[in-house]
Structure 1
């Protein structure tokens, strides 16, 4: 079971596989030498010939051949390790490079769980495929030929029978393979699904606890784990049954060879030395192929894992963008987009975000606001229509340029384990402590940190020791340090207190003097000072203009504004009571 594409994917490993096969062949000759020495000694003993000198010879052969086998086995392990190491490095590098080529929008083509499984479990399976299965495969093809060539000098008929019986093992493997493909396909499908469920549940564990939905997800996870257990047991059952069949063929074939030699001895066609030689070496005909059969599941797992890896590597990459200039007005014309090719989340949108201005996109949840941000940042592709920054199509701008000059801050912007300073320096590596404190002042976080350890305040994983609002303000400070040309704030102040929010909005008004600022928000009070407001409803553009004009001309905006004002008035009155 050789996959030519896999072999061609890591050609550097071929030399180590060849060395490993040669080492096993030399080890086989050591076994043959021991068999010859033992057969000769016992034949002399049976014939009542002097064995004083032959005892020393046998011991010498056994010791030398045994030491040689020890060295050869250790060297084989080394070559196997080198082959598998090259495979791991090569495949993981290919996966990493592919993800970089796919860019920010890789998740459109393949899930994060599949990427993790392909680069970890999938590569580990292929490591075994290259390090164990392939060397054994080639050795199992050569070893019976060598033994047939040696033993045919003593009994051609018996050697031929043994040689003919050897292919029964791969035939049985081929028969099992048809069933195994389906079983392993289901196994990897269940494995991927379990990984998806686990990753999602871990990421949303806090939310599940808050809404007391953890028990329901626990039960669903148990059901997914049970399906995976059943699939795993089917794989193990298949492997056990195939091993039993191979054992019957291997040891049955060896027994048949021994029986034939005894008949030849009885008929006088073979002497004691020949019989003993066949007894010692009959099993050697079958053991290489039998061992290959034991690696059968390794090969099948490797082939199954390669499908996931090839799925990722074969994912088409959009043409390479080479433009490195980002600047000017952002213009979207006749822009439409669908995540599933069924329902359009954006329908024929026309927007212009003027350079060095403060613009906003508003609408209820699900109206398509965040999709606008993703298109500008090019986190998603395959949109219909035109999207330009300046005179350059967004799809023509390199990702490096977009990542450098377009900063997207969302409501769940990630902060990393480490110190506050380390997180801020991600925005600008050469920033001084004074610049860091200025950024923290702008987002109203400086006073809080001064009560702790200042810039050396330690953040736990995901910033779990900070509140949601504090994490958002830290992410905003980091973004302000970036000194990009375009800032997109996607509900970036949603968890922030009113005092801090107002201070941040004042900073954004100052920022627009030299930067393009786009605020995506469902809260209209945040955007009343915007130079241009675009209103979305169910993916359709319902209006465009400034606050006062939209109150008169856009019913959707007017309704949202008054509804929010009524809710805020009610909440304020309720709090006073």
Structure 2
């Protein structure tokens, strides 16, 4: 179910086919046979469900005939009614079983395909809206397709089978009464079509009006502190009330224009209306000698089945549309470009070289930023040294730092580790070589020990505890209700600084020779920062380290500082060398460390 599978499935549908199969058809292809079987079984169950009513109608014909009833004609009808009453739910249960098993296999294959595919998508893709799209595809969209496979398609079989069987039987009983019974059905269908006229345009207006309400509500709630502080709450509230009033006016107008017609349609398509019309006509026909009482019984029992489809057809069509749209989103996700797999190169050492690196985010699309972020960066990270990237926001620091881990691939130039281009290093080998600790920590809803051991699942408890001690987080973990077995989000509630130290313990245990730190202390309090700095000092020992920092005071001890601006490295040197040079770094330092009030000069 990868992109290649989708393409090959599309190509192999039927040579010379006029159009490409829909994404929904492609997703359902592996279970198509079982879905058809479930639909057929549900249709059979619906048809068999009418068998008891048909047998009862025929039994009435036998019993109302002149003279004593013939037992040879009565008992087969009774047996047929009982058999239909038993066979119908049995066929329905079989349809449910087959449909849900097919649905389970479909969901499993699609989710596996998504996981395999997304495992090869650039990690940077997830930084934008990627994670939201993944959640929607893996849960919401597949749930929509599940409803189609397990419920909607079998239900449609019932919707078709019930009126079809009833119509054939009633036409055989009395074609004139059948035409009478169809009059309210036809009238209801016409009214329903009239009510739905222009519904697509109205639905678009509905979505737009609801979107305006949601936007105003979110704006009001998110900014409530600011607007109340500056006295603008009345304006923000008025925007919300205007949007809500506009939505209410639109919806009321739409309802007024469609409610009478819709109610009329539902009344004509209701089972009592059809039954009363058929029985009244049958009574009149019987009095006129055109029909017989047994036929009236048959129509009283089965005429309501003629309007069965219209009770659910609208919701089922909406479910089909939702599933079709969901399948399109899943297929689009499976078409997300992936990083080419490495060719088998192995790094020989931990020297990192950026050689003429250029990188441009896509214009629009997932990156959404567009434009060139790096413009010919040359930089060497020597083994066992700490190199700091500094510069103003938007200079390209984080973008450059993510390239050794292949969050993206450079659009020009190369990034190599130990003499091997990162594009030629297999993913498993690359992530055994490059570790990273970022400002935003991600801990899974697992035990603290499992979170630490993520990079080395085979590590023993003693190694996990040693990494925690080195990361200055062991005491906090041991104070948790179940210690290292406490589950994050359940009985382990960690602050930002504590979670950061768990991430550092994870990196320590992974023991990668190259380490990337991106603003690891930017969002924590001074006490946590001191503990994290101690842990980072332990983590950086003997490794090739690249640090991204905005606060220059945190990297004054770096072996080398590279100053970036507008996607280029404009200065390199130690803290003291760069200050003495009086260039861009010195200006940044003065901005962050103005002269002391007593005029003694800058802190250095």
Q: TM-score band, normalised by the shorter chain?
A: 0.7 to 0.9
Deviations 1:44-73 (A, max 9, x none): 43x553348477666544434323333333
Equivalents in 1 of 2:133, 2:260: separation in Å? 29
Q: Give the match for residue 346 of structure 1.
A: 373
Q: Give the secondary-structure state (helix, strand or coil) at the position aligned to 2:547.
A: strand
Contact preservation (8 Å) 1:334, 1:349: yes
Matches within 5 A, 1:252-271: 265=286, 268-271=289-292
Deviations 1:528-565 (A, max 9, x none): 34343211235443322333332244622011223434
> How many pairs were matched up?
556
**1:295 to 2:316 alignment:** yes
Q: Give the match for residue 16 of structure 2.
A: none
Deviations 1:303-326 (A, max 9, x none): 34444434433x432353233445
Q: Give the match for residue 7 of structure 2.
A: none
Q: Give the secondary-structure state (helix, strand or coil) at the position aligned to 2:404.
A: helix
Contact preservation (8 Å) 2:286, 2:293: yes
Matches within 5 A, 1:29-428: 29-32=48-51, 34-41=53-60, 44-45=63-64, 47=65, 49-51=67-69, 53=71, 59-107=78-126, 110-156=129-175, 159=178, 179-181=198-200, 245=265, 248-249=268-269, 265=286, 268-288=289-309, 290-313=311-334, 315-318=335-338, 320-325=340-345, 327=347, 328-338=351-361, 344=371, 346-356=373-383, 357-380=385-408, 384-390=411-417, 393-416=421-444, 419-428=447-456
Equivalents in 1 of 2:346, 2:220: separation in Å? 38
Shift of 1:300: 3.4
Q: Give the match for residue 25 of structure 2.
A: 7
Shift of 1:409: 0.2
Task: Provide closer, same or farther for how the CA distance between residues 302 and 530 of structure 1 changes in structure 2, counting only shifts above 3 A.
Answer: same
Task: Provide closer, same or farther for how the CA distance between residues 449 and 173 of structure 1 changes in structure 2, counting only shifts above 3 A.
Answer: same
Task: Provide closer, same or farther for how the CA distance between residues 117 and 484 of structure 1 changes in structure 2, counting only shifts above 3 A.
Answer: same
Equivalents in 2 of 1:7, 1:176: separation in Å? 31
Equivalents in 2 of 1:223, 1:136: separation in Å? 42
Equivalents in 1 of 2:476, 2:127: separation in Å? 40
Contact preservation (8 Å) 2:41, 2:91: no
RMSD, aligned CA: 5.0
Shift of 1:479: 0.4
Equivalents in 2 of 1:83, 1:194: separation in Å? 40
Equivalents in 1 of 2:96, 2:169: separation in Å? 27
Shift of 1:287: 1.8
Q: Give the match for residue 526 of structure 1.
A: 554
Equivalents in 2 of 1:425, 1:70: separation in Å? 52
Task: Provide closer, same or farther for how the CA distance between residues 89 and 223 of structure 1 changes in structure 2, counting only shifts above 3 A.
Answer: farther
Task: Provide closer, same or farther for how the CA distance between residues 231 and 66 of structure 1 changes in structure 2, counting only shifts above 3 A.
Answer: farther
Deviations 1:131-175 (A, max 9, x none): 232223345445555445444444456557868997887777777
Shift of 1:249: 4.3
Contact preservation (8 Å) 1:406, 1:485: yes
Contact preservation (8 Å) 1:17, 1:83: no
Equivalents in 1 of 2:549, 2:97: separation in Å? 59
Q: Give the match for residue 471 of structure 2.
A: 443
Q: Give the secondary-structure state (helix, strand or coil) at the position aligned to 1:484.
A: coil
After TM superposition, the score normalised by the length of structure 1 is 0.76
Shift of 1:127: 2.0
Contact preservation (8 Å) 1:413, 1:472: yes
Shift of 1:442: 3.5
Contact preservation (8 Å) 1:442, 1:504: yes
Equivalents in 2 of 1:311, 1:164: separation in Å? 46
| Farther off after superposition, 176-185 or 407-416 | 176-185
Q: Give the match for residue 538 of structure 2.
A: 507
Equivalents in 1 of 2:34, 2:155: separation in Å? 15
Contact preservation (8 Å) 2:41, 2:92: no
Contact preservation (8 Å) 1:14, 1:83: no
Deviations 1:395-420 (A, max 9, x none): 55444443332211012223345554
Equivalents in 2 of 1:221, 1:374: separation in Å? 42
Q: Give the match for residue 486 of structure 1.
A: 514
Deviations 1:220-263 (A, max 9, x none): 99999979x979989x9789976863552465666666666566
Equivalents in 1 of 2:38, 2:202: separation in Å? 34
Equivalents in 2 of 1:184, 1:110: separation in Å? 26
Equivalents in 2 of 1:264, 1:292: separation in Å? 33
Q: Give the secondary-structure state (helix, strand or coil) at the position aligned to 2:545.
A: strand
Contact preservation (8 Å) 2:188, 2:264: no
Gaps of 5+ in 1: none
Equivalents in 2 of 1:224, 1:462: separation in Å? 42
Shift of 1:522: 1.8
Contact preservation (8 Å) 1:169, 1:246: yes
Task: Provide closer, same or farther for how the CA distance between residues 130 and 244 of structure 1 changes in structure 2, counting only shifts above 3 A.
Answer: farther
Equivalents in 1 of 2:545, 2:249: separation in Å? 52
After TM superposition, the score normalised by the length of structure 2 is 0.73
Task: Provide closer, same or farther for how the CA distance between residues 164 and 457 of structure 1 changes in structure 2, counting only shifts above 3 A.
Answer: closer
Shift of 1:490: 0.8
Q: Give the secondary-structure state (helix, strand or coil) at the position aligned to 1:511.
A: coil
Q: Give the secondary-structure state (helix, strand or coil) at the position aligned to 2:558.
A: coil
